[in-house]
Structure 1
Amino acid sequence: MAALINAAASGKLVAEKSPPFTNPPETLSLTETISHQDVASAPDSSSTTAQTTISIGHSEAPPTQAWQVTRRHAALSAAELRQARQGQQQQTSRSGNAEHSGGQFKHRHAALQQTVAEQRRLLKEQQEQIRHLQERQNILELKHEEEKIALLATAMEERARQRAERRREIEERRRQKQEEKLRELEKQKRAEWEQELSKQATQHYLRTLLLHRGLAPWKNLLEQSHVNTQLYKQLSMFDFNTDQLKDLRFILEARAERFHRTRTQRKVFMALLDHTTEERITAWDNEQRAEEHNSRKAVKKCFAGWRRLPVVLREEKEREARREQLRRKVAEILPDFRSSPVGSLWRSVNPL
């Protein structure tokens, strides 16, 4: 189509009988576009009859879900095919008249553009209708989901209520069983307690009879005499053992005192020895440190004297220079003045 339009614009086409007009690529692409879209038609019969221009023209029931739409459902209906053929015939007659009237290709180009515009308009309307149907289908699906959710919530509440009732019944039966079990335990404990009291009463009665009217007092007397005899023997042995223990205690105390005195003297002498040794070591250390300090002090003084020797010599030279100047001045004033030389004075002071 683009090559045909370019040839018509350049004037290279020859006036000849045109072949029968076929559907343009836009019409063919329309069905493919519709077939690739997810079309969802309305569930009720009134909406399907109202939208017959884009619905399936067969006797089948319209699809209710988007995944059920196929190329067959997106095919053009018989009315749409008739309308397309009439448009083709009109365009063919128009193109034939244009060719017979002088081969004006501009009218044919305009007709093609009009056809393309019409097909685009139809495609846009169909897309708009498909969008409306999809929105309606989505709304219906949402309403259906809400109803399902509401029913599910109601069913869940009912099941929860039934479970709560069953739990209450189970708890009530359990509580009744526990109460019955507690009553049985109380009865059993009371019977055991009464049996124990009866047994204790019987034992007390028998013991009273034995104590007051049987042989028990004689047995008790014999046992008491035997116990007293054994106790006397034990006390005698205890006195004897006590005397021996006293002697042993005196001996052990003397040994302990002697051992304590010896250990104390040893500790004192050892402490004195340690103290004397530490003091002697401390004195040796102090003496050694004093000698080291004296040596360091002497060396430091020696080095300080050596470092100061140039300064002392320089000062001595300056004093000697001043003395020489004074001698000269005195010699100028007193010609017969004789001064003692410095070397003789130094030798007189230090003869060695």
Structure 2
Amino acid sequence: MSGQSEAAVITIPNLSDLPNSPLILDATATPKKVEGLYGREPTVVGDDHNVQMNMRVTQITDGAYHGSAFDNPNLIKRFQTFIDWVCKEYDNPLFGAKKDILKRFEFADNAVTEHYGGLRGLNHDDCDVVIALGAPHWHIDDLERDAELLSGGIAIDNGLEVGGVEYSLRRENGELVANPPTYRRLQYVDDDERGLEFPVKEFSGLVGDLFYEKRENELEQLVHRTRPITSDTPIDVYLLTNVVTDLPVDEVSELDTLVGQAKGRSETVTQLDVPDGAKDLVESLDPSETFTRNDLKDRSEVGGRTVENWVSSLIDMGIIEPTGETKLRSEVLTIAE
């Protein structure tokens, strides 16, 4: 009838009406969660984590940086310094963080931002770097409620344990308020074949499985939005958290070290006694790549003679250095270390 709005009702099937032998294609599924939904333990295939990924992962070791850590203005400033550097250094950076944390930072126009909890299914294979700004930390009360729901109904005969007992180094008023934590090994070894392990915050039972899904798995989900398994070019990954995941780590660092490197390079470029156009050109270069003078002319909006003068000045200052010649005897250049 005219003037009346239409309503749509969407229903989902009862659990008892679901197929008896479903095939769940989910590389980051939580088996205990599936068991709670279907009432029996699933058979897991392909969980050996031996998939080759075209990426280079750098992870910090000095803090988990959950949401409450960002109440510190100094931490915000340090993270912002690194964000600014990434946005200048890369063409299409992808940043992930808690939704309310993202609002505390400023991002350049070339940046893509996504929040934890809303990552699954997204495709950002055009991004050349992904940065985790701290780690998610779900409310335990919410996880306990979900665990109670999953452990009831058709799964009640399986005796799924709700759990919720905490194992961590958490303190209140200087006193430990949780059970001693377990330690988990980072997927990393140094040049001397030595590894690293960290105390891990965990919870018993189904609450623990859900907590892992919402934290560790969510960090992995962020990285996989850039599709490193199928990427033809290496994806750089910066995990600004010490939460241990199943991702292979190539380099470990500390937050202040990364921030210092980013700040140092930015300050060096800013202080150069060359025109702003030359500074912008330097900041657009990848330190790991080589280039010729013609390459620089192609990417610049000024005349070739101007670029030649810039390059000569930058070589004299030690910012750019020759590394050889092409087959056509064109000078090959790179950013000096």
Question: What TM-score comes out, normalization by structure 2 length?
Answer: 0.23
Q: Which has the higher helix share?
A: 1
Could you say which structure has the larger radius of gyration? 1
Highest RCO, 1 vs 2 (Cα 8 Å, sep ≥ 6): 2
Question: What TM-score comes out, normalization by structure 1 length?
Answer: 0.22
